[in-house]
């Protein structure tokens, strides 16, 4: 796992109040109950701060999986 | 013109369709003009005087969008975006909420400011959200060039003009492409008609029949039997779903006749196991807008985000959502109830690991929604509280029942509609299945 992946998984697990081992590359909003629309916004904002990169509003709904988050950031 | 009115079904829609396909087949004229003109006629038919309200909104927002797109510096882009959002917000408040503000000022400060009695600015609430979405997309670079006729059509397209769903420019406009072949368009006609008829059935047969139960109970000034109060409140909760989702189905069906797919707005909301899930399934395009365009920028503006602050912003977002539904304290309370419901739901999700039975969760979610809709339907907060008291005041069990045997047909509809809601797949399922088979 590279640094970026680790950073993203750490941030997402923190927002979702889950252990890092409960999240992997296949986690997304469909297979994780806690990943709801509020969590989605909180994930985006926390990653924006970590990577210092702004997310366009229209992208929010496309970034509902670990894979897509890794691709974007 | 309502979708289920005779003038719409027998005159307006067939004529627009005929002209649309004739122009498509025999001329090189853009069918967009047919849809723009029909949108203007459709809107003007409600109230001719209101038409300039929408036209002004379109002109000003088009101007702002070109200003945003032509800005050289990020700073001027941002300033134009802020001005444009301010314009939309103030425009909506001025036209829809002035009398509500005056009424409250008068009662707080015992003033005598006269009311304006502006006519209700139909569709403007939806147009405002759609325009803000569009302007932010211009700012973000999702939209890089626009033509006036495209923007005009985006707003005035009559199937979704009055009651949504709230659509996005980049998802809608490619669908209006003039390159679409007639044969491709023809394929959608049958499914479009089926969806339209399902919507009409939901609105006219179920919704309107349930209103026969709802009206006498909500309008009763005398004490209510608890059984009546329960029947009335549940009948309204079911009615509003069939009315609204029926209307959206009709819109979806009509849009399909022109080869346009509208986004899904309802996904069996009463099967939700939590309030969070309810808002993922009820008026989906509105909750999406609220999360992305109200909650997101507010949260982003915070320096340090805590769970408490994010919960507070959820409440603020839902107060705005409540007020957006109309100028009344009842809607604000409806919003507040859902805001608090969501906060409780998030606290539960975050701190409590205990799992509850699925049917029990659906049951309590439905009952919470049912209570909140009493505020949505009642004339005043006092009436809503009276209704809720009646539901739980068992000493009134011996008072005369309003809903007697003569309402047996509507009661039957209520039972059938509950079966439809909890036992069947929804219209989206049908559309998805059709597309898969295509």
CA-CA distance, B40 to B38, in Å (whole number)? 5
Which pLDDT does position A33 carry in this prediction? Answer: 83
| Average pLDDT score over residue span B417-431 | 83
**What is the ipTM metric for this complex?**
0.86
Residue B325 · residue B331 · CB < 8 Å:
yes
Which pLDDT does position B403 carry in this prediction? Answer: 66
CA-CA distance, B92 to B132, in Å (whole number)? 12
**Residues B12, B242, B325, B375, Cα dihedral to 10°:** 150
CA-CA distance, B136 to B143, in Å (whole number)? 9
pLDDT 10s digits, B265-311: 999 999 999 999 999 999 999 999 999 999 999 998 988 888 899 99
Q: Which residues of A touch B (CB under 8 A)?
A: 17, 33-34, 36-38, 40-42, 44-46, 48, 56-58, 60-61
Of A33, A34, A57, the CB nearest to B292: A57
| Average pLDDT score over residue span A42-55 | 91
pLDDT 10s digits, B49-85: 889 999 999 999 999 999 999 998 999 999 999 999 9
Domain covering A3-72 assigned CATH 3.30.300.160 in the classification: no
Report the catalytic residues of B. 325
Least confident of B8-12, B150-154, B423-427: B423-427
- Parse chain A into domains and list their residue ranges: 3-72
CA-CA distance, B229 to B394, in Å (whole number)? 11
Q: Do B296 and A45 touch (CB under 8 A)?
A: yes
pLDDT 10s digits, B166-216: 999 999 999 998 777 888 888 889 999 999 999 999 999 999 999 988 988
Which pLDDT does position B257 carry in this prediction? Answer: 94
Which pLDDT does position B251 carry in this prediction? Answer: 96
Q: Maximum Cα–Cα distance for chain A, whole Å?
A: 30
Q: Which residues of B touch A (CB under 8 A)?
A: 136-137, 140-142, 168, 170, 276, 279-280, 287-288, 291-293, 295-296, 299-300, 305, 310, 314, 342, 346, 349-350
Residue B405: is its pLDDT beyond 70?
no
Residue A12 · residue A29 · CB < 8 Å:
no
**Residues B371, B376, B379, B381, Cα dihedral to 10°:** 60
Which pair of structure tokens corresponds to residue B131? 């325009």
Of A34, A37, A41, the CB nearest to B349: A34
Report residue B223's pLDDT band, with 50, 70 and 90 as the boundaries: confident
Q: Do A45 and B305 touch (CB under 8 A)?
A: yes
3-state SS of chain B: helix, strand, coil percent to 5? Answer: 75, 0, 25
Using N-to-C axis directions, what is the helix angle for B381-392 and B208-218, rounded to 10°? 90
Which pLDDT does position B230 carry in this prediction? Answer: 92
Strand partners, A28: A65
Which pLDDT does position B110 carry in this prediction? Answer: 84
């Amino acid at each position: 796992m590279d640094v970026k992946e680790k950073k993203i998984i750490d941030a997402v697990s923190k927002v979702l109040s889950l252990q890092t081992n409960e999240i992997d590359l296949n986690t997304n909003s469909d297979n994780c109950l806690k990943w709801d629309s509020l969590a989605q916004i909180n994930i985006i904002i926390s990653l924006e701060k970590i990577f210092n990169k702004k997310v366009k509003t229209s992208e929010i709904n496309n970034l509902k999986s670990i894979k897509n988050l890794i691709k974007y950031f | 013109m309502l979708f289920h009115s005779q003038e719409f079904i027998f005159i307006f829609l067939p004529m627009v369709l005929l002209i649309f396909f004739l122009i498509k087949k025999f001329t090189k004229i853009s069918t967009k003009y047919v849809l723009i003109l029909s949108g203007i006629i459709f809107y003007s038919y409600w109230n001719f005087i209101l038409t300039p309200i929408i036209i002004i909104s379109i002109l000003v927002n088009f101007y702002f969008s070109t200003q945003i797109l032509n800005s050289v510096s990020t700073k001027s882009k941002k300033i134009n975006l802020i001005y444009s959002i301010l314009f939309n917000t103030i425009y909506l408040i001025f036209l829809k909420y002035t009398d509500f503000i005056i009424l409250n000022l008068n009662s707080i400060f015992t003033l005598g400011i006269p009311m304006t009695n502006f006519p209700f600015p139909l569709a403007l609430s939806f147009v405002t959200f759609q325009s803000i979405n569009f302007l932010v997309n211009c700012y973000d670079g999702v939209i890089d060039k626009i033509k006036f006729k495209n923007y005009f059509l985006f707003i005035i397209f009559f199937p979704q003009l009055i009651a949504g769903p709230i659509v996005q420019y980049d998802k809608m406009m490619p669908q209006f492409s003039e390159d679409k072949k007639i044969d491709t368009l023809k394929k959608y006609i049958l499914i479009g008609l089926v969806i339209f008829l399902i919507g009409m059935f939901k609105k006219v047969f179920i919704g309107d029949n349930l209103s026969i139960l709802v009206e006498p109970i909500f309008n009763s000034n005398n004490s209510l039997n608890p059984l009546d109060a329960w029947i009335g409140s549940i009948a309204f909760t079911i009615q509003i779903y069939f009315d609204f989702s029926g209307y959206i189905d009709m819109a979806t069906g009509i849009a399909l006749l022109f080869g346009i797919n509208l986004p899904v707005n309802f996904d069996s909301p009463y099967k939700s196991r939590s309030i969070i899930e309810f808002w993922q399934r009820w008026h989906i395009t509105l909750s999406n807008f609220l999360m992305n365009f109200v909650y997101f920028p507010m949260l982003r503006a915070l320096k340090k985000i805590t769970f408490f602050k994010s919960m507070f912003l959820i409440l603020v977002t839902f107060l705005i959502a409540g007020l957006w539904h109309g100028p009344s304290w009842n809607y604000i309370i409806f919003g507040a109830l859902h805001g608090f419901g969501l906060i409780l739901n998030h606290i539960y999700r975050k701190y409590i690991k205990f799992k509850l039975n699925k049917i029990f969760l659906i049951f309590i979610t439905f009952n919470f929604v049912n209570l909140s809709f009493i505020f949505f339907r009642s004339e005043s907060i006092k009436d809503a509280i009276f209704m809720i008291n009646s539901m739980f005041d068992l000493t009134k069990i011996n008072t005369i029942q309003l809903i007697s045997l003569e309402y047996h047909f509507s009661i039957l509809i209520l039972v059938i509609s509950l079966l439809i809601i909890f036992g069947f797949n929804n219209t989206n399922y049908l559309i998805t299945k059709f597309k898969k088979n295509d």
